[in-house]
Structure 1
């Protein structure tokens, strides 16, 4: 019997402690750390590339976002393994949790060649956004290399989601730490030509990311196929197609996939609109969104914890405890976001100078004041992000994925025309457009709270008897 099973039995007799902050921290903290590692991985890449100049840094951000966008539908779809595995575990049918993983792996293997085949669409999109020629050339290279590693990202998502769903989040954390360390070492060597490796610049950053992802996948795969996990979840018997489980994964995971894809297309388009405004704005926005990554991505670890625990207690027919989980998640998320808020308000100039190139750069000096002002404004929405992440996680864990998809997609796609009008039509300064984006995020945090407050999600049943 592993640690997760013992905890489930303990909770069965200790109803009072279920869904509390202690349980949330125990499950979500390793996920916060693992997402923090993923953030550090990306952040370090861009800091390294900033030493070469603002253009490689901007190209890596836009190219990396575009490559990730090509994968997002499938990442969102198979990411619902977390909620399904948790609900089967809560319903006492843990053998079906591994069946969910098998269906997700099948989807991943079918999706990888489709993603590669869509590469010309990414190139056409770059052309359409009218980017500076120097950035465009480097962006294509970075985008192409990362796209070849799509299958690594998808398979990592499958296994990470399974371990998150059953509560074994330390495995996910260790995998992310391995990926981060390997990536940083590889990039240090391949970008600058250290450690006896060739100096490949931007290409080196992409190759290092793929190698780190591969090593992280090996950790997850070794644990999933390990003796203890094989026996407890009947992993080998689950290596087959199951129509009912596949249908359930497609039904409830597809809205999450559509949401993730449309949201990232919108977000990437906003980045491209800013980048199309000119090199100074592109540099400032790249710096700000790198720090926004630090503020936001670890919150996704808390969201996964909320999805997992809400799914588990909804599967066990205990919606009141699921509600307690959401409150615990909100306390944890707001505590983290308050620290970020302080840093953005008190130290924006110091945060911006971290991205200063090795040699004096006129472009960076022009962009730094704008980036500093934008970072101060970003402090206004960090708490709103915490609210959105937690309550959307609670809704998804319960199965209210369609509403969550519609609300989230609406938010992101309202921001695109607002930004275009401010920058392109009204020709207002970038800071005014940024302020409008901040205001919209604050408004939508209230929308997610009201949906959660309505309580409709408590009546949903994703895992029924025998299904």
Structure 2
């Protein structure tokens, strides 16, 4: 279930990672600008994206409950949410300049941040639609389809990056704008591919992917009720993280560049856990749809064991062989000898990442599991409190206390530790076992009489 989702998650991460590596060849400012701008872009997407992603929970529970005719309508409610969110997202394009001016990262970095953010925003609707459409496959456990589609268009994006950033194969040399347009084109091609797959005759017949296209008021409201907190949770967590990134960028260009490298490497390493956690959430949804909460719990614990084993290896590599990851950024004229301060700081920051990796894995697995059951209100309130604390503490650390980059990273490490423990305790409490996001299926009838359920 999870292995293809791991590949799928890695495809997106490799795509953004290579973006930054290629832009490092343009300038250090371009790389740092791409990181901060893409982080703010993702922050703007988080609320609708979290709801679109939650369509997979509805699909998984309907699939487990044996109601395939409700799967197509569930997918389309996520797509309708994406359509309704598009005007609001595009309205953020003119707001980019004042937003990055407030970050105070320097004139050249700010100019590049504005360009990248504004270009990426034209791909935001496609990002949401692709996420909603892909839930048709991921929620049913057909994760290999998601893996293949995502991997193909990640490869397309990488080819376009090389052509558009540096001006190869007849493309204009556009630098950071070229990287943005490569992502936008890839996202729209991916969304179109998922739509074509959704409309295959067998899917229309069995899962009502065409007849269920209409906006279903009750189902849409239920998706907002359960998926809304999930979207807010994602938005709050990423907003707190984004504020942290923006404030650290004020400390100086060396701190901004080293932080960008460390987080880019961290993202590359932990995205397999994101895919594994998504698989756990899907299995929880399917097994709760079957009323088998014990199997759902076993799937979650198995996912955690795999996640911790993987993260242990990654953390040891960060500590003992950081050049395995850093060598991608320090090549040619950008060798460690030419950027000794950035290199030394990035090595130290990877040690902070190693310190929180295991709790980060714990956090992702248990959040995905309880969200797969429908326990999104709890996730929302925890995120509201913790994201507010992170933002406030980051502001105090940078602007009032002057603790420096290492003090800021100690702060983010402690924040992740606390979140990991909170969601572990919530899972052990067990309230998620009685939760469902779908309506109960009607009783079976045999010759006009009720047939006892054998589920």
Q: So what's the TM-score if we normalise by structure 2?
A: 0.93
Cα RMSD of the aligned pairs, angstroms, is 1.7
Which residue of structure 1 lines up, in the alignment, with residue 74 of structure 2? 100
Residue in structure 2 matching 1:273, options 247, 259, 264: 247
Query: What is the distance in 2 between the residues matched to 1:118 and 1:334?
Result: 39
1:316 matches 2:269:
no
| Aligned position for 1:258 | 232
The equivalent of 1:126 in structure 2 is 100
Do 1:54 and 1:363's aligned partners in 2 also have CA atoms closer than 8 Å?
Answer: no
The number of equivalent residue pairs is 441
1:357 shift after superposition: 5.8
The CA distance in 1 between the partners of 2:259 and 2:246, in whole Å, is: 10
CA distance in structure 2 between the partners assigned to 1:417 and 1:175 by the alignment: 40
- Deviation at 1:255? 0.3
1:370-385 mapped onto 2 (5 Å cutoff) = 370-385=345-360
The correspondence for 1:430, drawn from 397, 405, 410, is: 405
Structure 2 residue aligned with 1:408: 383
Structure 2 Cα separation of the partners of residues 176 and 274 of structure 1: 32
User: What's the CA shift string for 1:394-413, capped at 9, x where partnerless?
Assistant: 11011100101222343333
Query: Unaligned 5+ residue runs, structure 2?
Result: 443-455
Cα distance in structure 1, aligned partners of 2:380 and 2:239: 14
Query: 1:451 offset after TM fit, Å?
Result: 0.7
What corresponds to 2:453 in structure 1?
A: none
Are 1:459 and 2:434 matched, yes or no?
yes
How far residue 279 of structure 1 moved from its aligned partner, in angstroms, is: 0.6
Give the aligned partner of residue 51 of structure 1.
25
Residues 370-393 of structure 1 show CA distances to partners (whole Å, capped at 9, x for unaligned) of: 111010121011111110011111
Mapped contact 1:392–1:448 kept (Cα < 8 A):
yes
Deviation at 1:59, TM superposition (A): 0.7
Partner in structure 1 of residue 449 of structure 2 = none
Q: Which runs of 4+ in 1 moved over 6 A?
A: none
Determine the C-alpha separation between the residues in 1 that align with 2:91 and 2:383: 28
Q: Over residues 79-103 of structure 1, what are the superposed CA-to-partner deviations in whole Å (9 max), with x where a residue is unaligned? A: 1101111111111111111101111
Q: Is the 8 A contact 1:52 1:357 kept in 2?
A: no
Aligned with 1:399 (options 361, 368, 374): 374
What is the 5 A alignment of 1:312-391? 312-356=286-330, 358-360=332-334, 364-391=339-366
Residues 320/369 of structure 1: CA separation in 2 closer, same or farther (3 Å cut): same
> Distance in 2 between the 1:125 and 1:204 partners?
22
Q: How does 1:62-77 map to 2 (within 5 A)?
A: 62-77=36-51
Consecutive unaligned residues of structure 1, counting only runs of 5 or more, are 1-26
Assess if the C-alpha contact under 8 Å between 2:165 and 2:176 holds in 1: yes
Shift of 1:309: 0.8
Alignment match of 1:172 (pick from 137, 146, 151): 146
User: Residue in 2 aligned with 1:420?
Assistant: 395
| Distance in 1 between residues matched to 2:338 and 2:241, nearest whole Å | 24
What is the aligned counterpart of 1:450 among 419, 422, 425? 425
Q: Could you tell me which residue of structure 2 aligns to residue 191 of structure 1? A: 165
Question: Paired residue for 2:446?
Answer: none
Q: Secondary structure at the match of 2:439?
A: coil
Q: State the TM-score, normalized to the length of structure 1.
A: 0.91
Distance 1:339 1:38 in 2: 22
In 2 relative to 1, CA 75–89 (structure 1 residues): closer, same or farther, beyond 3 Å? same
Distance 2:324 2:179 in 1: 25
Q: Is the 8 A contact 1:182 1:215 kept in 2?
A: no
Judge conservation of contact 2:63–2:140 (CA < 8 Å) in 1.
yes
C-alpha deviation, 1:350, in angstroms: 4.4
In the alignment, structure 1 residue 248 sits paired with structure 2 residue 222: yes
